[in-house]
Structure 1
Amino acid sequence: MLYWVFKWVLFTPFVRLVFRPSVEGAENIPETGPAILVCNHLSAGDTFTLPAMMKRRLTWPAKVELFSGSDWRGRVLAWFLVQVGQLPLDRSGGRASATSMDGVLAVLRQGQLLGIFPEGTRSPDGRLYKGKTGVARLVLSAGVPVIPVAMRNTQFVKSKLFGLPLMRSPSIRIGKPMDFRRYASAGNDRAVLRWVTDEIMNAVMELSGQEYVDAYGSSVKAALEEGRDFSPAVLPRPGAGNPVPPLPGPKPQRRSTVARQPSTESTA
């Protein structure tokens, strides 16, 4: 893998010298062991700014279509994405999605860090949008710590230097780990999945200071593209007014699919 070459020779020096992002809460990232970093999504810059400012490797799931180009450009892109820590994720459902999820869980079993954007798309206007419950399914299945992360001011704007797109004062705020293992036996309980997702998104919102819109970002984008009037509700927090679901009843204890696995990552 050329991950560390790209990271230390290309991305990290470039990001630190050109964009100069600030980082708050870096101590909340464990030095070893698996964890899921859950982030808001403002721009394409999020996917390389956060890894560039971390000591450990960070893997992002990306839509599988990016890895399936048939011409030389598509093959080069697929190769590059793998080298910089991207993992193909099939979101079409069924067996293909289940196989993709196995690959995601394998990253955590190896004791590595996984990054997730629960909104599923970049914010169309800088606000925080409703998180998809797939993040809760992953969290409850993996049984590892969840670390909320806020990306701020990572949108690209044209600079005075030949009109090149740059970030202005980007910053990263990393929150304290969250533990949802008490709901691990909830299975596919929709109320639990929604509540866990909303709690994670609320932690991200508190770090980012964004206004929360109770609608999926993809739905808002579709409405904008089609010229439809779509005015979703703005809530004080994700899941506002929803009760805390009761803890699942006792079930036969099973081991986490990820926890207590030794880390296999290397920094060299």
Structure 2
Amino acid sequence: MTYRLLRLILSLVAYLALRPQVSGLHNVPRRGPVILASNHLSFIDSILIPLVVPRHVTFIAKAEYFTGHGIKGRISRWFFTTMGNIPVDRQDPRAGQRSLEDALDVLGRGGAFGIYPEGTRSRDGKLHEGHTGVAWLALAGGAPVVPVALIGTDRVQPVGQRFPRPYRGVQIQFGAPIDPNRQLTTGLRPAQARRELTDQIMTQIHVMSAQPRA
């Protein structure tokens, strides 16, 4: 109930402040495992996507959001825990693999998992090459990948700005699902299959977002 109430409040705030234009939402399966692979322009991306998708979307969040002290730390921990985010310690050399294993658990339960193939926010506005972890996850979990293009969220909260600001030009586009099973039948070596699938996902994001490639 707490999650639903928080989501309702944030949805109202987002609508009033941003009026995001959402398209292609029918491409997101209403049930079953699915990966939402998006470009990443702003901190608020991980909040906006779950607000517009009509099912719970789990994201990875850095462990610092769960370990802070004082009132700010408690609010941060409550917020990210309530949103269902999974903490990951970026100082841990195995953090990347562990986050993928956590994501695989989400998919195994039939859930929706959000991921940024670029690995971090774009600081130059360009779309960077995707890491193959998204393809590993799709192939291991047998889950379709829905490419997501975010436009304008960097105008709401640019990198380095503490608080978001109203902006009415935000767009969120959901592309047609990409079935990873084709890579399993092409005879490619596993590393080649992951690279090909990742590049296909990034190409779709590029087409929808019109971001220049890095």
TM-score relative to the length of structure 2:
0.85
2:184, 2:193 within 8 Å by CA — same for their partners in 1? no
4+ residue runs of structure 1 moved beyond 4 angstroms? Answer: 96-99, 184-188
Query: For residues 146 and 164 of structure 2, what CA distance do their matches in structure 1 show?
Result: 33
Counterpart code for 1:48: I
8 Å CA contact 1:116, 1:135 repeated in 2: yes
Residue pairs, 1:55-204, within 5 angstroms: 55-69=54-68, 73-91=72-90, 92-94=92-94, 97-156=96-155, 165-184=165-184, 189-204=190-205
Q: Percent identity?
A: 38
Contact 2:148 / 2:174 at 8 angstroms: preserved in 1?
A: yes
Give ranges in structure 2 of 5+ residues lacking alignment.
158-162
What SS is found at the alignment partner of 2:101? helix
In the alignment, which residue of structure 1 is the partner of 2:160? none
CA distance in 2, matches of 1:17, 1:72: 27
Residue deviations 1:72-106 (CA, integer Å, cap 9, x gap): 53343223211113112345344x55444332222
**Counterparts of 2:173 and 2:85 in 1: how far apart (Å)?**
22
Taking only aligned residues, the RMSD between alpha carbons, in angstroms, comes to 2.5
Q: 1:62 to 1:183 in 2, by over 3 A?
A: same
Q: Contact between 1:89 and 1:101, CA under 8 Å: does it hold in 2?
A: no
Higher helix share: 2
Task: Give me the TM-score of the superposition, normalised by structure 1.
Answer: 0.69
Structure 2 CA distance for partners of 1:124 and 1:137, relative to 1, 3 Å: same
Is the 8 Å Cα contact of residues 2 and 84 (structure 1) preserved in structure 2?
no
Shift of the alpha carbon at 1:191? 2.6
Instruction: Note the C-alpha offset of 1:195.
Output: 1.8
Q: Kindly provide the CA deviation profile for residues 112-166 of structure 1, in whole angstroms up to 9, marking residues without a partner as x.
A: 21111111111112221111111111111111110001001112359xxxx9722
Does the CA contact (< 8 Å) of 2:118 and 2:130 recur in 1? yes
Partners of 1:101 and 1:203 in 2: how far apart? 22
SS where residue 102 of structure 1 aligns? helix
Name 1:3's counterpart in structure 2: 3
2:44 — aligned with what? 45
Report Cα offsets for 1:30-59 as digits up to 9, x if no partner.
111110000001111211122212221111
Q: Distance in 1 between matches of 2:138 and 2:196?
A: 12
- Contact map agreement 1:143 1:184 (CA 8 A) in 2: no
